[in-house]
């Protein structure tokens, strides 16, 4: 067996043995992320017929390819943490903080919140909120009173399978579950996935989570009715983004819907950020800005694009559902964004000035 080439850790919903009993759903729906072959479970491991081996550790599938270049530094940290669970190793803790990409100061803040034990908000989420939701949420770090769960612009789920690519602590996964979807969240960060699972359990929602790579989705061909992603592909190189889009197309069911958000080159706030870096080429995890035309062209290679529409103006991640959490100025910005969205539906060309754009597609 080529152990270590791909490392997987799984924690089922009903762990009973040393490695945890495997939720049968995973065996029915997951495949090897390298060759899409079916997996079997034996002695605490998942195997495919080509000899790729996946460890089962505490139940969350960590299906990352070690040999694949990272799109995010936490991918290597996740693999390293899964390989060695010795709690005596410095900087390791039950929150897997070395796998979520926070500073030492932020780490101490999370641990202090956890030690206090007074907040109903998960301490990891309390520190991740600005990183996942956007700079407008910065004032809520360490001060969240409730989880900012957005409104999902999709019809009722009725038990259809919903894949949230890059779910982080699970806000969109939770939104989908509340709308009746059978939801599975995928993210390359073990710590973020563990936080998502804690929040889902706290809210009484039966979500499943997988640690994985958007470029190598561990799901069967044409098995997912809804593929979704928000503020994720924008951090990929254009080549990696195209690969992730092709993978989304591969797993999308014949009558399925793909809904993905990307930042618009021509948005007012996006132009400001591009100017700040003097319009140079993006590096590493920096945001890539897409023109609506390029979005449509790239997605048309794999999907039939139905619409390119405004998500929000004057920033990325602004959600009307969170308006009560905001300061007066931020509420004005969100109200202005919502008004501009309504106007863009009547005058579609205005959507080309939105900072955040939805690309809604269906299978070819």
What CATH number does the domain located at 213-363 have?
3.40.50.150
Distance between CA atoms of 192 and 167, rounded to whole angstroms? 8
**For residues 61 and 64, what is the distance between their CA atoms, to the nearest angstrom?**
9
Q: For residue 309, list its beta bridge partners.
A: 358
Only one residue has tokens 């023109």, namely: 291
pTM of the model: 0.91
CA distance 207 to 219: 16
The whole-number pLDDT of residue 101 equals 85
pLDDT at 92: 60
Predicted confidence at residue 91, as pLDDT, reads 52
pLDDT for the residue numbered 189: 95
Q: Report the pLDDT value the prediction gives residue 117, as an integer from 0 to 100.
A: 76
- Strand order through the sheet with 208-212: 6-7, 62-65, 208-212, 182-187, 161-165, 224-229, 252-263, 356-363, 303-312
Q: Where do the domains of the chain lie? A: 6-83, 97-140, 213-363
pLDDT in tens, 106-120: 889 899 988 887 678
How confident is the model at residue 349, as a pLDDT? 93
Per-residue pLDDT of the chain (364 residues; tens, 9 = 90+): 333 333 333 233 333 333 456 788 999 999 999 999 999 988 777 889 999 987 777 777 889 998 899 988 889 988 888 776 544 455 566 899 999 988 888 889 899 988 887 678 999 999 999 999 998 999 999 889 999 999 999 999 999 999 999 999 999 999 999 999 999 999 999 999 999 999 999 999 999 999 999 999 999 999 999 999 999 999 999 999 999 999 999 999 999 999 999 999 999 999 999 999 999 999 999 999 999 999 999 999 999 999 999 999 999 999 999 999 999 999 999 999 999 999 999 999 999 999 999 999 999 8
């Amino acid at each position: 067996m080529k152990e270590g080439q791909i490392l997987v850790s799984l924690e089922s919903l009903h762990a009973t043995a040393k490695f945890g009993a495997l939720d049968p759903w995973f065996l029915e729906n997951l495949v090897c992320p390298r060759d899409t072959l079916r997996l079997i479970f034996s002695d605490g491991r998942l195997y495919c017929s080509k000899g790729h081996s996946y460890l089962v550790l505490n139940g969350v599938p960590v299906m990352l390819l070690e040999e694949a270049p990272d799109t995010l530094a936490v991918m290597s940290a996740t693999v390293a943490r899964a390989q060695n669970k010795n709690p005596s190793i410095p900087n390791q803790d039950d929150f897997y903080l070395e796998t979520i990409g926070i500073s030492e100061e932020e780490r101490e803040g999370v641990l202090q919140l956890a030690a206090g034990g007074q907040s109903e908000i998960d301490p990891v989420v309390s520190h991740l909120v600005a990183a996942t939701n956007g700079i407008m949420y910065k004032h809520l770090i360490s001060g969240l009173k409730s989880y900012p769960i957005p409104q999902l612009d999709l019809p009722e789920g009725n038990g259809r399978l919903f894949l949230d690519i890059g779910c982080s602590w699970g806000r969109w996964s939770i939104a989908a579950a509340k709308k009746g979807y059978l939801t599975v969240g995928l993210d390359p960060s073990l710590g973020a996935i563990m936080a998502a699972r804690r929040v889902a359990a706290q809210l009484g929602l039966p979500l499943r989570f997988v640690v994985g790579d958007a470029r190598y989705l561990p799901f069967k061909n044409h098995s997912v009715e809804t593929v979704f992603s928000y503020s994720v592909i924008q951090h990929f190189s254009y080549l990696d983004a195209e690969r992730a889009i092709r993978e989304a197309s591969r797993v999308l069911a014949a009558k399925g819907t793909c809904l993905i958000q990307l930042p618009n080159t021509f948005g007012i706030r996006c132009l400001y950020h591009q100017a700040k870096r003097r319009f140079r080429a993006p590096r590493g995890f920096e945001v890539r800005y897409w023109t609506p035309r390029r979005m449509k062209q790239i997605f048309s290679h794999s999907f039939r694009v139905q619409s390119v529409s405004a998500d929000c103006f004057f920033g990325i991640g602004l959600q009307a559902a969170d308006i009560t959490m905001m300061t007066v100025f931020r509420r004005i910005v969100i109200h202005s964004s919502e008004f501009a969205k309504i106007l863009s539906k009547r005058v579609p060309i205005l959507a080309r000035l939105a900072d955040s754009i939805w690309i809604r597609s269906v299978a070819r």
